[in-house]
Amino acid sequence: MPLKVDHSLLMLGSAAYVASWYSVDTLGSRRFDKRVIGMLLSYIKPKRRGILGTLQYVAYEEQSRKHFRRWVNDLNNILGGVHKAGCVWGDAKPENVLVDDEDNVRLIDFGGGYTDGWVEEEQHGTQRGDLEAMEKIRQWLEQLGEAPTITLS
């Protein structure tokens, strides 16, 4: 029986964890005949606590500017993987991007929802809406990269 591992991101309070779900195919190739045999949570240490650890706030720090291009590339790759798996991000916006203590970005909040200004209402909850919001995030970071920055202590 092959062991399968799926990964997702869980937010518990202000802490983020990567959840690895272990399942085993018990009855062959039938799609829904699997049973979960365990779950492993890996803590993701954010750059700052709570909402201040999201891209919405971290992006305004002067030392973050050097990461903008990499973050856009990483977000595009992560979102591509989410879409390849047949899923959608949903409420795509900078507040739903966690920046960890090593300046890596992680998508959070896959619970659905919609935030005006980041995606057209009729596109929310779709892959097309995710791509629309990702382009707006890219443009937002590009504009921030050209603007004066502040230093937070």
Say if residue 64 is in the same domain as residue 132. Answer: yes
Distances (CA, A) of 27 to 5, 22, 31, 33: 17, 16, 9, 6
Number of domains in the chain: 2
pLDDT digits (tens, 9 = 90+) for 31-89: 554 454 555 566 778 888 888 889 999 999 989 999 999 999 999 998 888 888 788 88
pLDDT digits (tens, 9 = 90+) for 113-135: 888 999 998 998 899 999 999 99
Say if residue 18 is in the same domain as residue 73. Answer: no
Say if residue 98 is in the same domain as residue 153. Answer: yes
Distance between CA atoms of 33 and 26, rounded to whole angstroms?
6
Q: How confident is the model at residue 95 (pLDDT cuts 50, 70, 90)?
A: very high
**Residue 94 belongs to a domain with what CATH number?**
1.10.510.10
Give the pair of three-digit tokens for residue 49: 């606590």
Q: Determine phi and psi for 104, rounding to 5 degrees.
A: -100, 150
- Residue 69: which domain range? 46-153
The closest of 14, 18, 92 to 51, measured between CA atoms, is: 14
Say if residue 89 is in the same domain as residue 55. Answer: yes
Give the pair of three-digit tokens for residue 122: 């009729």
* pTM > 0.85: no
β partners of residue 20 = 7, 40
Q: CB–CB of 118/33 below 8 Å?
A: no
Distances (CA, A) of 142 to 47, 58, 137, 146: 21, 14, 8, 7
Say if residue 105 is in the same domain as residue 117. Answer: yes
Hey, how many other C-beta atoms are within 10 angstroms of the C-beta on 77?
10
Say if residue 93 is in the same domain as residue 134. Answer: yes
